[in-house]
A and B are shown apart, each in its own frame.
Chain A
Amino acid sequence: MTAWVKGQAADADAAITAAADLLRGARAPVIAGLGAEVAALRAAFRLARALGASLDPAASPGLYADLGALAAGGAMTTTPAEAVGRADLVLVLGDGAAGAPILADLAASGPTRGRAAGAPRTLLSLASGQGADYAAGEAGLPAAIGLLRAHAAGRMAGDGPLADLAARLRAALYAVLLYDPAETGALGAEMLNGLARDLNETTRAFALPLSDPHQGRAIAQVAAWTTAQGPRVGFGRGFPEHDPWRFDAARQAAAGEADAALWLASLPCPRPAWLRALPGVALLGAAQGEPVTGGEADVVIAVGVPGESLGGALWHPRRAAIAWHPAAKPGALPSAAAVLGALHARLTPAQGQPVQERSASC
């Protein structure tokens, strides 16, 4: 194991002991980042329960934009594979979605299955950036989505550019609305799913949210099967409480509520500024070109990178599912799950009382 305590190289046992000491006395520790494989995420939820900690993924802003829309009004979504196989019209909404890797595949192929099979495929864009087919306008993307929806549903008349785009969506056999929830926000994502719903009165149309690069979609699934709730959960009272506002780690740090942090990032994950202001433990994957130096937190433990130095279950954006990623080049560093397990064992006595759990709403 490669580990550091206060910037000094330390052996594994000393680092685990220092990490346990740092977290043991905390009133409101946060476990954040969570850019990691499923085994590590599961270990993080178990540790949070033992510590009375709260969890907040780095992926939260985009993830909660979609979860908020889903919880408020439902979603009509499709998968990347279905979009490639069936879509005759793809509308790319926003600047964030314009660089999506799936666009190359969509541009290079046409629909081969379903009601649009054999038809040509059209790719259109609605964004603020130069070169967009339709301009989002000064009011911004969420307002443009609303205007597009008003035209698509026939509630607004007129012959502006978005009326033309709405007519093309209505005429499509299988339209796909590709977007980045972090850019549309929760209200924009809800409006976009409403647009898909309105279009389905007469044809087929589906939303396709881009998945974030920090395992947000996998975390949402692990959180759902572990606590039946979203990932911003706190175990302070011994049972999982879901509260996206209260357990926002950045807010907790700014308000002086959080008093210790454990940053979990076996995959590359940008570290927020607030992390350095708290006593902290960091489990970091030593990725290519981004070595772990030991100065990132009070206690730093280098861990294996899933899909590179060890195998792990990760979000697969093209399959839109959690999938096994074998080790490309097996390495010697321990898995984050193993480190969290050792930390958990150090923090909890073997004869601990079972946790009494009861239901809690958001």
Chain B
Amino acid sequence: MSVLTLRHAPPERLDLSGITPDRLAGLSEAEAARLPVGTSRLGLVLGDCFSLALDGGEELRLAGGSDRLDRVGEALAGGTITVEGDVGQRLGAGMRAGTIRVSGSAGPFAGTGAKGGLIAIAGDAGASAGGAVHGAMGGLDGATLVIGGRAGDRLGDRMRGGLIVAERAGDLAGARMVAGTLVAGTIGDHPGYGMRRGTVLVERHGALLPTFVETGTQDLVFLRLLAKALDALALDAVTLDPRFAALARAPLARRAGDLATLGKGELFTPLG
């Protein structure tokens, strides 16, 4: 396992988008230490902030974190990145495969545009986790994003595919959703604003939009498949509570929306 040890709190935001196991594989420690990570005109390189111990393998551990570490695991194509601490914005942005585990919390836009692989955040996530950045066509796009703590507002904003599981989330979860599945414990007001398609399954929610309409109780094959997928995920992601799979098996009320737009999305909540 390769280890990057954060020596001190970063003096500025760092861009770690090029720091993935496959990119480090062919480099000596001296070469890797010269990779640019700074975002100011001072031109910080990896070695300015981290001590490096590389073995060329598929596992990379960041010992020490900070909310200034942006784009950790961006475009990851395989292997594992483990962060002991917090990360900044766009964790795992556009990743295609592999696993990213964060023991602390993440900034906004975690998993934006991620097409495959697993992102597991033990702590909280900022706004628009699994959501789209300004002007992007979509948020999470096929990957799996698990948040053990509270996600901010607009969880899964404009997500196009994949699965998000979060313990709690703020307002407007699943806003502008295009496709995919979002499972959460308690979420805030107005879930699914502008949602076109996709599925939101929650234990509790705040105020609902007037453009979601009840469609009764249905026994859907999809929910059984989702429960199995959540069972399998619970084995993979240590942060996932098994009660989410139980939620998918419980009797559920279904609402369709957002009728302001296409209206092919659905919001499931426990009956009663």
Q: Take A245-B89, A362-B135 as given contacts and tell me if A155 and B263 are in contact as well, using a CB distance cutoff of 8 Å.
A: yes
Residues of A within 8 A of B70 (CB): 246
- Distance in Å: Cβ of B212 to nearest Cβ of chain A: 10
Residues of A within 8 A of B132 (CB): 72
Q: Take A234-B39, A238-B41 as given contacts and tell me if A246 and B211 are in contact as well, using a CB distance cutoff of 8 Å.
A: no
A147 CB within 8 Å of chain B: yes
Our count of residue pairs bridging A and B at CB distance below 8 angstroms stands at 101
Tell me how many residues of B have a C-beta within 8 Å of chain A: 36
Stretch at the interface among A1-9, A92-100, A186-194, A321-329: A186-194
B39–A230 touching, CB < 8 Å: no
- Contact of B109 (CB < 8 Å), options: A191, A236, A245: A245
The A27-64 residues at the B interface (CB cut-off 8 A) are 27-28, 51-52, 64
B111 CB within 8 Å of chain A: no
Interface positions of B (Cβ within 8 A of A): 11-13, 38-42, 67-68, 70, 89, 108-109, 132-136, 158, 172, 175-176, 190, 193-194, 207, 209-211, 213, 258-261, 263
B210–A139 touching, CB < 8 Å: yes
B134–A27 touching, CB < 8 Å: no
Residues of A within 8 A of B68 (CB): 257
- Distance in Å: Cβ of B91 to nearest Cβ of chain A: 13
B176–A244 touching, CB < 8 Å: no
A257–B13 touching, CB < 8 Å: yes
Q: 9 smallest A-B Cβ distances: which pairs? A: A52-B41, A146-B260, A71-B135, A150-B259, A236-B40, A155-B259, A149-B260, A150-B260, A150-B211
A143 CB within 8 Å of chain B: yes
A230–B134 touching, CB < 8 Å: yes
The chain B residue with its CB closest to the CB of A70 is B135
Q: Take A194-B260, A238-B41 as given contacts and tell me if A187 and B193 are in contact as well, using a CB distance cutoff of 8 Å.
A: yes
A142–B193 touching, CB < 8 Å: yes
Residues of A within 8 A of B260 (CB): 145-147, 149-150, 155, 191, 194
Q: Take A150-B260, A187-B172, A238-B41 as given contacts and tell me if A156 and B11 are in contact as well, using a CB distance cutoff of 8 Å.
A: no
A237 CB within 8 Å of chain B: yes
Q: Take A246-B13, A257-B12 as given contacts and tell me if A156 and B211 are in contact as well, using a CB distance cutoff of 8 Å.
A: yes
Residues of B within 8 A of A71 (CB): 134-135
Task: Compute how far the CA of A238 lies from the CA of B40 in the bound complex, rounded to whole angstroms.
Answer: 8
- Distance in Å: Cβ of B128 to nearest Cβ of chain A: 9
B193–A27 touching, CB < 8 Å: no
Chain A CB count within 10 A is highest, among B172, B258, B261, for: B261
B108–A27 touching, CB < 8 Å: no
Task: Compute how far the CA of A246 lies from the CA of B258 in the bound complex, rounded to whole angstroms.
Answer: 31
The chain A residue with its CB closest to the CB of B133 is A362
B11–A27 touching, CB < 8 Å: yes
A85 CB within 8 Å of chain B: no
A68 CB within 8 Å of chain B: yes
Task: Compute how far the CA of A72 lies from the CA of B132 in the bound complex, rounded to whole angstroms.
Answer: 9
B134–A68 touching, CB < 8 Å: yes
- Contact of A146 (CB < 8 Å), options: B11, B134, B209: B209
Task: Compute how far the CA of A145 lies from the CA of B193 in the bound complex, rounded to whole angstroms.
Answer: 11
- Contact of A27 (CB < 8 Å), options: B12, B190, B258, B263: B12
